[in-house]
Amino acid sequence: MPLTYIDPGTGSIILQSLIAAILGVLIFFRDAVKRVFKFIFAGKAKPADAPAADATPKPEQDPVRDS
List of residues 6+ apart from 6 with CB closer than 8 A:
14
State the distance between the two ends of the chain, measured CA to CA, in whole angstroms.
86
Which tens digits make up the pLDDT trace of 19-64?
Answer: 999 999 998 889 888 888 898 888 665 555 655 666 566 666 666 6
Q: Is 43 helix (H, G, I), strand (E, B) or coil?
A: helix
* C-alpha span between 48 and 66 (Å, rounded): 30
Question: Is 6:14 a contact under the CB 8 Å cutoff?
Answer: yes
Say if pTM beats, i.e. exceeds, 0.85: no
H-assigned helices in 1-67: 8-40, 63-66
